[in-house]
Amino acid sequence: MSDATPETIYLKDYQPFPFQIAQVELTFRLKPRATRVLSRIAFTPNPARPGRHDLFLHGEKLKLISAAIDGKPLPDSALAITAGGLTVAAAHLPQGPFTWEAEVEIDPEGNTALEGLYMSGGIYCTQCEAEGFRKITYYPDRPDVMAPFRVRIESEMPVLLSNGNPEGRGKGWAEWDDPWPKPAYLFALVAGDLVNLPDRFTTRSGREVELNIWVRKGDLDRCHYAMDSLKRSMTWDEEVYGREYDLDIFNIVAVDDFNMGAMENKGLNIFNSKLVLASPETATDLDFERIEGVIAHEYFHNWTGNRITCRDWFQLCLKEGLTVFRDQEFTSDMRSAPVKRIADVLTLRARQFREDMGPLAHPPRPDHFVEINNFYTATVYEKGAEVIGMLKHLVGDDGYRRALALYFDRHDGEAATIEDWLKVFEDATGRDLTQFKRWYTDAGTPRLSVSEAWNDGTYTLTFAQATAPTPGQAEKPARVIPIAVGLLNPNGDEILPTTILEMTEGTQSFRFEGLATRPIPSILRGFSAPVVLDRKVTQAERAFLLAHDTDPFNKWEAGRSLARDALSRMILEGEDPSGQLISALEAMAGDDSLDPAFRALCLHLPSADDLAQSLADAGHEPDPDRIHAEQKRLAKAIAARLEPTFERLFGAMEVHGAYAPDAAQSGARALRLAALSYLNRIDGGARAKALYASATNMTVRQGALICLIENGTAEAALADFRDRFGANRLVMDKWFASQVLHAPPADAPGVAARLAADPDFDWKNPNRFRALMGGLSANHAGFHQSSGAAYDFYAGWLIRLDALNPQTTARMSTAFETWARYDAGRRAKARAAIERVLATPGLSRDSTEMLARMLAARQT
């Protein structure tokens, strides 16, 4: 298929593959520019597709050396080869089982797309999800074709790894055997000059598992936290889900060049090094938390993804939504559940709500795509996880446990669908989930409006749900929405503990009888459904809930909406910074009975993009400059009023003793740095400067550095930072990102351009590219400068990267996702930038699909 005529794939066209595979044998003769891949695949007819069929094997950018069936070389006339694969006509195939053998040549060093077999810093590695295996050899590269793999690697590299258990090794070769049938996207191979951090784990049934984290020499001392996280993940999955590991060995490899975060290849997870390597001096508390969460996520895929995989890529949220849900549960168990929930909702709103309200909106289970790599989205991941959270609310903890046990029991070894998933919940609990399924098939974020009535001891809550049309979906029938509600007395006592109301109609009322006084409701506790709550609430009631709500999520949410309302009024009406908000924050920040991490979250004001989203949602054209100015004005007013509180916290939250990346210490550091960022607005930068100089860990060092950048006084600190960490790629990513992200908006495009010309701007490295360009697009007023300078600069770099790495380019193009929100002047400039990228000759299918969808947003 040519990139010029991208073909759309539809869920409704699914058909099983006409053949099954009994065994795959692969031999790799590794050479940087000319690797030979020999394959032997034992095919048998698939009873699900009776009759005679052609054999179609995917294959891209392969040089075919030879092909044979049952030992007989195939003449050229028997093969039809296109850019997407190869077909052997049925007439050339034996009627029963047969063996396909082929030899192909590939070029790992020339593979800049980082998909298939490629080289990263001298290490051979693979990335096959979603459709990268077809760049390694001819194969039915689809997840419903599962097979056991045997792999032989021939190379002079000292460490040779693949999936499964080691079968043997000698000088220049190694063999691996993976007994568990798997789809090709889980294949992995690594060869390099690596060293390992070894460890062991004994499963609860007594299997001895060898654990290794493989890295380059010099990085070994930064693997301990990842290893510790792995062992805790293994224990947790046994205790909470009853899932044990199923091979004798589990390997993790860290590589520097990686399009994504990490990949769950069976028995051989491959990670972006930023999600493995950490020491107190080089990684922040947030980095440690992410490492723990991603190690868990990829490990959990061993059951939710690998043992039970997806029938086709439309079912992606079957494995990703569920595995995100599981890693979220794990992190709440390891750390603070309320803090984790708030952080997850912040991400959901920032990424998924943004997606759902814009031109890229799609359901958690899409029904068509052009390039599947473009569907590893916040909707598939984060909303996919929220949908499972709602299911759990509806069937209860016990129902969830029984449904999951049935899922593993019924579908182990299979490639399953969302229908299979919902069926286990129906069968385990007796519930009808027909209406619930809409959460999987419908795009868009429902808006839930609330009205209330009080009459003679009876309190009535009435909800109405409405979802705006999304691309390709005009009709939005009512969904089932679990609404967690609690009621408080005016004196702050809880009179109704959290109760789940099940809304199934477009409009529906719920009554609470026999109450002595009119209650104050706490609605959507724990954010029980991914909806926008629309309720007219006074600032006084929000302040009351911030002070009294027993649900920690809604307590935070009350403060959040207080701040959002205050800022919206400041932006739209030029009001003075709200006194109510500031007093409420003062009471909260100074309350030492509250978790410091929670208080830090409450002190973070809504982001500019968040404000722009809610303004746009309310029908305004957000003005990025005004948003920025009012954010600054509010922060300064808060700093001035709360100076004594912040001074006290800055002292009291200092952590003494050995560094630990745990919830307690990182919470204290987060609150201290939140206090610092306010004080920094009124102390001329004195504290930040001193703190930078005395910092003993990266969390504090980076926090202080950001303050200095915001003040425009970071020159010396930036030079010092580079002196200390110039040789550490991951730390230098922070150096690049911080300077652009925290630059005064007017300077942002200039700072970005200067950094892009820096000799250390290795733009072919995805982490480095994301650091600089992601920093720019996240500098809201900087990116959306009315001159369009940042749009142009950004578009130029998208064009440049697309020629090498379409996947990362397409992901980065979502910086333009919100372009249609802004005023006509900005829209025209953004549109021109998008059109310039789209007009690039030879632009990848990945970027073409994304940019074309974004452009369809608005015709002005």
Site for ligand BES in 352-391 (CB under 6 A): 373, 376, 381
Please state the closest distance from residue 384 (CB atom) to Zn ion, in A.
10
Among 107, 154, 257, 264, binds ligand BES (CB under 6 A): 264
Check binding of 811 to ligand BES (CB under 6 A): no
Please state the closest distance from residue 295 (CB atom) to ligand BES, in A.
9
Return the one option of ligand BES, Zn ion, none that residue 439 interacts with (CB less than 5 to 8 A, by type).
none
Check binding of 256 to ligand BES (CB under 6 A): no
Please state the closest distance from residue 271 (CB atom) to ligand BES, in A.
9
Please state the closest distance from residue 261 (CB atom) to ligand BES, in A.
3
Please state the closest distance from residue 165 (CB atom) to Zn ion, in A.
23
Check binding of 141 to ligand BES (CB under 6 A): no
Nearest to 697 by CA among 334, 286, 290: 286
Please state the closest distance from residue 6 (CB atom) to ligand BES, in A.
18
Site for ligand BES in 178-237 (CB under 6 A): none
Q: Which is nearer to ligand BES, 389 or 519 (CB)?
A: 389
Q: Which is nearer to ligand BES, 251 or 429 (CB)?
A: 251
Check binding of 326 to ligand BES (CB under 6 A): no
Q: Which is nearer to Zn ion, 269 or 779 (CB)?
A: 269
Please state the closest distance from residue 320 (CB atom) to ligand BES, in A.
6
Q: Encoding tokens for residue 771?
A: 């650091």
Q: How far apart are CA 749 and CA 781, in angstroms?
A: 11
Q: How far apart are CA 652 and CA 647, in angstroms?
A: 9
Window 496-515: contact mask with Zn ion (x via CB under 5 A): --------------------
Amino acid letter at 674? A
Residue with tokens 């004994």: 202
The total number of residues shown for the chain amounts to 860
- Angle, helices 316-334 vs 384-411, to 10°: value is 100
CA angle 527, 531, 535 (to 5 degrees): 90
Please state the closest distance from residue 331 (CB atom) to ligand BES, in A.
10
Residue 298 annotated among the catalytic residues of the structure: yes
Identify which range of 156-164, 290-298, 340-348, 712-720 contacts ligand BES by CB under 6 A: 290-298
Check binding of 334 to ligand BES (CB under 6 A): no
Return the one option of ligand BES, Zn ion, none that residue 260 interacts with (CB less than 5 to 8 A, by type).
ligand BES
Residue with tokens 């698939």: 46
Among 60, 129, 141, 289, binds ligand BES (CB under 6 A): 129
* β-bridge partners, 521: 487
Among 21, 55, 69, 130, binds ligand BES (CB under 6 A): 130
From 298, 355, 386, 710, active-site residue? 298
Check binding of 24 to ligand BES (CB under 6 A): no
Angstrom CA distances, 679 to 362, 562, 647, 649, stand at 43, 22, 8, 11
Q: Encoding tokens for residue 260?
A: 């994504």
Among 58, 150, 243, 301, binds ligand BES (CB under 6 A): 301
Return the one option of ligand BES, Zn ion, none that residue 570 interacts with (CB less than 5 to 8 A, by type).
none
Contact 198, 210 (CB under 8 A): yes
Residue with tokens 């709440």: 332
Contact 307, 413 (CB under 8 A): yes
Consecutive H or E run containing 552: helix 552-573
Q: Which residues contact 456 (CB under 8 A, 6 or more apart)?
A: none
Consecutive H or E run containing 233: helix 224-241
Identify which range of 247-255, 257-265, 336-344, 795-803 contacts ligand BES by CB under 6 A: 257-265
Angstrom CA distances, 643 to 219, 600, 708, stand at 42, 15, 19
Q: Which is nearer to ligand BES, 264 or 846 (CB)?
A: 264
Applying CB under 6 A, the site for ligand BES has a residue count of 17
Contact 711, 688 (CB under 8 A): yes
Among 216, 243, 266, 297, binds ligand BES (CB under 6 A): 297
Window 310-349: contact mask with Zn ion (x via CB under 5 A): ----------x--x--------------------------
Identify which range of 136-144, 289-297, 693-701, 779-787 contacts ligand BES by CB under 6 A: 289-297
What distance, in Å, lies between the first and last C-alpha atoms of the chain?
Answer: 33
Among 24, 114, 263, 850, binds ligand BES (CB under 6 A): 263
Angstrom CA distances, 120 to 26, 103, 112, 262, stand at 22, 24, 10, 14
* DSSP H helix total and E strand total for the chain: 29, 31
Please state the closest distance from residue 60 (CB atom) to ligand BES, in A.
16
Q: Which is nearer to ligand BES, 136 or 395 (CB)?
A: 136
- Can you tell me whether residue 231 is helix, strand or coil? helix
Q: Which is nearer to ligand BES, 294 or 674 (CB)?
A: 294
What is the CB neighbour count within 10 angstroms for residue 476?
18
Identify which range of 91-99, 296-304, 336-344, 690-698 contacts ligand BES by CB under 6 A: 296-304
Please state the closest distance from residue 859 (CB atom) to ligand BES, in A.
32
CA angle 791, 795, 801 (to 5 degrees): 150
Kindly compute the dihedral angle of the four CA atoms of residues 385, 297, 342, 484, in this order, to the nearest 10 degrees.
30
Contact 148, 141 (CB under 8 A): no
Q: Which is nearer to ligand BES, 549 or 817 (CB)?
A: 817
Check binding of 320 to ligand BES (CB under 6 A): yes
Q: Which is nearer to ligand BES, 21 or 130 (CB)?
A: 130
Q: How far apart are CA 291 and CA 255, in angstroms?
A: 14
* β-bridge partners, 449: 464, 534
Please confirm whether the linkage preceding 130 is cis (ω < 30° from 0).
yes
Q: How far apart are CA 659 and CA 264, in angstroms?
A: 30
Q: How far apart are CA 152 and CA 480, in angstroms?
A: 52
Identify which range of 8-16, 292-300, 588-596, 815-823 contacts ligand BES by CB under 6 A: 292-300
Please state the closest distance from residue 619 (CB atom) to ligand BES, in A.
34
Torsion angles phi and psi, residue 787, rounded to 5:
-65, -20
Q: Which is nearer to ligand BES, 129 or 285 (CB)?
A: 129
Q: How far apart are CA 748 and CA 750, in angstroms?
A: 5
Q: How far apart are CA 651 and CA 645, in angstroms?
A: 10
Q: Which is nearer to ligand BES, 385 or 649 (CB)?
A: 385
Check binding of 260 to ligand BES (CB under 6 A): yes
Chain residues binding ligand BES by CB under 6 A are: 129-130, 260-264, 293-294, 297-298, 301, 320, 324, 373, 376, 381
Chain residues binding Zn ion by CB under 5 A are: 320, 323
**Catalytic amino acids?**
298
